[in-house]
Each structure stands twice: as structure tokens, then as C-alpha cells.
Structure 1
């Protein structure tokens, strides 16, 4: 089955990337650095290779966690984790990912390879990186296997879904004064660096005690003295609320300007909270309170399976945007979450034990099956979409080439005079 219907392929030629970046840090600090850094790359390097290199770096970071703590044994206040120097590599790796993710578009313009394929490739890698960084950041914050880690996954994926939803309805990407791809990533880099210096237990300190504000009676009597990592999670929740409001304002303005409905787009947000509720129901296993997913080595695979499912969902949203197709309200990957949630709650729904997850071992096996299916499904999506786009537009994915009118592959590099003007 093709993901792009034949009648929608023509929309690929009409696609044009549009973006608004209001970040002061991005415009005045990082962008000059990115503009210089892209010149270090030869013009024969395809922009998607740069994007893929960034993803490879963060996947290596994830692999290093798997090496030092293969079963994710460290829980809050629990076992000793990896050596502190490893957190520095995570911070450096994430900063390199941000840099490479920022310059791939610049490289595309240098090589004449800008287009819808780059949009799909870039956002696909971003979707995968989102879950990887949730796992690593929660580990560095000493949250361990907990509902706080699950909550951070919810908030992070929600922001990504919101941004994709906003782009679909406005036709462009908005980066606010404080955005996830810029300030959010740098905040996580800072977390990794602090953890490298002081260790994960640093984040268990009470925030008022650490800041010495507990000595200020007016503050101490009104503000709860929460752990620093818990306070960070609450801050992330407030940030999500702010992003929801600002994203809808942008959609409202764009839809009103185009004469379209301003309330209907809100309905397209519903699939995400529904999927969150399904995952909560699945995690809240009523018959295995002491051996549920959160308290087992299956917790990280559970998050990864959800991350791959999510990448498939937003991938189809982005594909609908660049091909001018209807917004996808349903994705086949939801089926596995529905099955997991219903089976886990069979005692409540039907008064009988789960058919599949009736013991901890089966629960873990089922989670790994869902992870495998999600991986294969998303890999298939990536291969088919890349094949459809490259074949229709006559371009290559990982090399700087295009097909001429006779179907012969030729370099897509602009003339040297054009390169000098970049």
C-alpha cells in the first residue's frame, strides 16, 4: 500500500517551506554560528546525510545508556548509574544534533535540494529524537522508572504534535521566543552538563533549600519545597499550556485570514489526548500492581514503542501537509495501544483476567512485540514515502543528484556563481 495516493503526488511540486523564528537566541547567537558551520561541509554532501548524522549521534548516546545500564535498573535513589563523564557526551551529542538539524536546510539551499523530502526527513528524525531525549533526560534527572518520566514523555510528544498540527493549519512552522528546538534543547544540554558535574542525585535536592529561599518566610509559607527534578516537570507542564494557547492563536489568525473555520481544527487535536489516556490505562495494570510495566525493564521499551508509533502518526500528518491531503485522524498504530489497554483492564471491563498480560513475563513479551511491530511499521513508512517522493520528483535521498528530462542522473549542485552568492 502506498502512503501517497497518485492524485496527491502533484501536491509535492506545490510545497514550499515557510517558517517564522522569533527566538532571540536563535537569531542573534546560534544562527550566525550555523551559517558559518554549514560552510565547513562540502557541497557534495546531501542535506539528508547531515540530518541522519545528527540522529546517529543521539542514537549512540542512547546505546551508551543501554551499555552501562542494560535493564534500566537505576530508579530514583536506587542503584549506581553510569560514570558521570557519560552525561557530558550526551550533552555534546544533543548540541551536535541541534546544530546538524539546523544546518541541513542551509545545506539544501546551497545544493539546490530543498523540497518536501527534506521536510519529511527532518521531522522524521526529530520525532525519533524526541523519545530518545525523554529517556536520557529523565535518567539524568534521576526520575528513573516513574510516572514523572511517563509525564515528561507526554509533555514532549504533545509539544511535537501541537507544532505539527499548527504547521498543517497555518502552512508554516512557528518558533516562539522560547521554543523546544532551540531553548528547550539547550536546557536539556545544560541538565546533562550539571549531572556530569554533580551526579543525578543533585536533582533530588529541595528547590527552596538549594536556593536558600526556605529562609524567606513569605516564600516558604506559600511555595511547596519540591525536589528540583519535580519542579522541572511542573515547569514543563506550564510551558505546554503556554504552547497550546499560542499555537491555537496562530491557527485562529491563519484560519480567519483564509476564511476557514476556526473551531474545527481543535477537533484534530483529540487523537493525541485519547492516545495518552489509552497509554495511561495500559500502564495502570489493575492485576499486577507490584509488577506492572513502570516497575519492570519493559518500561523503556514501552516508551520507545510509543515513540515509534508517534513518529508514524506525525509522519502521516506532515505527509498530509506537504501533499495537501486531509488531516489524518486515525492511524493503524493506535490498534496496538487499544489492545494493550483493553487487555490490561479486562478485570475491570469484563471481570476476568487479561488474555495476554496475565503475568509479568507475558506483559514484558507483549510490550516487546509492540515495539517490534512499531519499528517495522515505521521503517516501512519511511522506505515507501522516500521511494514515492524521490521517484515522482526525480531526486535522490542521500546524494546530491536529480534526474534530467531524459531520466539521466546528474548533479543537483547550483552553478559556482550561485554558490558564491550563498
Structure 2
């Protein structure tokens, strides 16, 4: 069963990318670099190959965490972290990811391959990268397996969900003065570099002590002298609040301009806090001991399964945008985590042992089963959507080819070179 209705397939041909980038850093610093960088790629390289290459850099970073810091995924939790030089590779890998993510749209216009498939593929890779960077950043900031990392995951996914929700209701992608894909990524790159130089324990330094503000009684009276890493989390909360406000303002203006109900889109925000509540309930379940999963090697697999489910959720939202289909309220992939959360909370709900997760070994089996099912389901979603779009539009996903009227493959015509410098 496919994800696109016949009417949705017909709407693919009406799709046209629209975007607004208000980032001064992007406009005056990064865009000239990206414009030059895309010229290094031959025109026979498909845009999606560039996108996938960027994601592979992030996957390599994650693999290096597993290889060089195996204790992080063990019972010990890894107090020391990976060798400091690993953080420099994370910084380089993430910067390459950002660069490739920025030029895939330019390559699409160079090769005449711009279209809805590119946006689907781009957002899918971005969604996967979000969770992976949360895990890596939490390690670099010495937050490790903690509620701070869970809060970081929730905030990062919330920002992504907001952007997708906003694009669905306005018809265009907004990048604010401070946005995740530009300033946010560069901030994380900087954090990796500092961790590489000073080590992740540096971020435990009390912020007021580090800045010298602890000598000012008025400040110490009202501001707690917490670690730098916790202040970074607080900064992330401020950015999230700012993005919530600006996203809704954009949606409100778009709905008023089109004569639609301005407050109805707010209902489409509800699925996200519901999914966060499910995951937090599972993580905080009272089985064996409070936060058993949080303090065990199962923490990372659970975050990864959460990220895959989220990628499926926002993938369907982007698909609804490009095909002009109804907003996807419900995602069946939530069911598995909902079962896990309810079962693990049986001691709290019914004062009895869980039906499934009644032993540490069963918890492990169930979480890894959740991860496997989430991965297979998301891969299936990607395969079906790519197959439907490529077949209907007569294009290839990873080669610069199109079908002519007879159905024979031909090279796509190189077009729109004048606009290669514009960001997709």
C-alpha cells in the first residue's frame, strides 16, 4: 500500500519550491561559499547523491562514537568519553553535512532535477541528522545519559516539527535570522571544536565562575551558578520559544491572507507533544528503578527509535505538503512506543508488574525490537514514496535522468545556470 493517493500524485506536477532565508550569515558569508562549492560537482552527479553523501558523514560521526567510546553504550556509561581528536572529526563531518545540504538544491537547478522528490529526500536526511546530533552533542557537552539529553532531543525535534508544520500551512520554508540549519549547526560545530581542545568536562565549569559574574552579588542572587552546558540548554529553550512565536506569526499571516481560519492550524501541533509524552513516560517508568532506561545502555537505542519514528512523522507531513493531501494526524508507528510506555508503567497504573517488560532482559529485547521495527518501517516509507514519485514523474532518484514520452531514459537537460547561486 502506497502513501500517495491518485490525486496526490497528480498534484506533484503542480509543486514549486518556495523559501525565505533571513539569515545574514547565510546570505553574506556562507552562500558565496556554497555557490563556489557546487561548481566542484560534475553535472552528472544527482542532487540526492550529494544529500546522501552529507548524511553519510554524520553516520560516520555516530559510528566513531560507538567505536571510540564503547563504554558510553555499556553499563559503565563512559565517564571519560572518546579521544579528544574525535570531536574535531565530528565538527568537520557536521560542517560537510551542512555544506552538502545547502548545495543539493543548487545542483538540482544545474541539472534540471529540481522537484518534490528532492525536498522529500532533503528533509528525510535532516530529520535523521537531528537525533544523531542530539546524541553526539550531548556527549560533547558531557551531558551523557541524562534528562538534559532528553530535553535536548525534545527541543531539537520540536524545532524541526515547527518548521515542517509552518511549511505545510504557508507553502514555503522559512529560515529565520537564527535557524537550526545555519546558525544552529555552526554553533554545534563550535561546541565540538571546544570539546576537542579542552575536553567535554570543560562544559561542567560553572557559567558565572567562567565569566567572572559570580563576583556581582546582584547576579548571584537571582542567577544560579550552573554549568556552561546547562546554560546552553537554557539558550536552546529561548530559541525554541522564539521559533514557536515566529512560526505561528508566519502561519497566521498566511491564513489571514488566504481567508482561512487563523487558529485552526494550532490543532496540528498536538501530535508532537503527544509523542514526546509517550517517550518521556517510557523513559521515566518505575520498573526496577526510576529512570532505569535512562541510566542504562538502552538509552541510545531508545533515542534512535524515537528519532526514526519522528522522521516518519515529519516525512508524511512533507509528503502531504508537496502532494497537497490532508494533514497526517495519526502515525501508526507511535503504537509500538505507546505499548512500551503503558506496559512499563503498569506498577504506577495498576500496581502490578509489566506484562512484557517484567525483567531487564525483556526490556532490552523490547527496546531493540522497537528500534528494528522503527527502522524497517521508515525504510519502507522511503522506498515506497521514492518509487511512487519517480515512476509518476519519470525521473531517477540517484542519477541525472528523465524519461521521454516513449518511456525511454535520457539525460536531464542542464538548465537554469543563471540561478545556480540561489539557495533552494
Q: Deviations over 1:272-310 (max 9, x none)?
A: 001111111111111221671101101000000000000
Residue 174 of structure 2 is aligned to residue 158 of structure 1: no
More contact order relative to length (CA 8 Å, sep ≥ 6): 2
1:3 maps onto 2:3 in alignment = yes
Residue in 2 that maps onto 1:252: 252
Aligned residues: 420
Q: Which runs of 5+ in 2 are unaligned?
A: none
Computed over aligned residues only, the root mean square deviation of the Cα atoms, in angstroms, reads 1.5
* Residues 60 and 37 of structure 1: CA distance in aligned 2, closer, same or farther (over 3 Å): same
Mean CA deviation greater in 141-150 or 62-71: 62-71
Q: Distance in 2 between matches of 1:291 and 1:166?
A: 34
Contact 1:74/1:144, CA 8 A, preserved across alignment:
no
TM-score (norm 2): 0.97
Worse-superposed segment, 75-84 or 400-409: 75-84
Q: Is the 8 A contact 1:72 1:297 kept in 2?
A: yes
Q: Is the 8 A contact 1:282 1:341 kept in 2?
A: yes
What is the 5 A alignment of 1:269-308?
269-289=269-289, 292-308=292-308
2: distance between equivalents of 1:78 and 1:42?
43
Between 1:23-32 and 1:209-218, the stretch displaced more is 209-218
**Shift of the alpha carbon at 1:74?**
8.3
Moved over 6 A (4+): 74-77
Q: Is the 8 A contact 1:278 1:337 kept in 2?
A: yes
SS at match of 1:221: helix
Farther-moved stretch of structure 1 (262-271 vs 343-352) = 343-352
The alpha-carbon distance between structure 1 residues 377 and 74, as it changes in their structure 2 partners (threshold 3 A), is: closer
Task: List per-residue Cα deviations over 1:208-263 (Å, max 9, x = no partner).
Answer: 00111111222222211111001111111111111111100000000000001111
2:418 and 2:208 mapped to 1: Cα distance?
55
Q: What is the distance in 2 between the residues matched to 1:353 and 1:77?
A: 27
Per-residue displacement from partner, 1:374-417 (whole Å, max 9, x unpaired)? 000000000000000000000000000000011110000326xx
Question: 8 Å contact 2:390–2:396 — kept in the other structure?
Answer: yes
| Structure 1 position 142 matched with structure 2 position 153 | no
Q: Secondary structure at the match of 1:347?
A: helix
CA deviations over 1:65-102 (Å, ceiling 9, x no partner): 00012352589996221110000000010000000000
Cα distance in structure 2, aligned partners of 1:360 and 1:3: 37
* Structure-2 separation of matches of 1:93 and 1:366: 32
Per the TM alignment, residue 149 of structure 1 is displaced from its structure 2 partner at its CA by: 0.4
**SS at structure 2 position matched to 1:410:** strand
Residue in structure 2 matched with residue 359 of structure 1 by the alignment: 359
3-state secondary structure, aligned to 1:174: strand
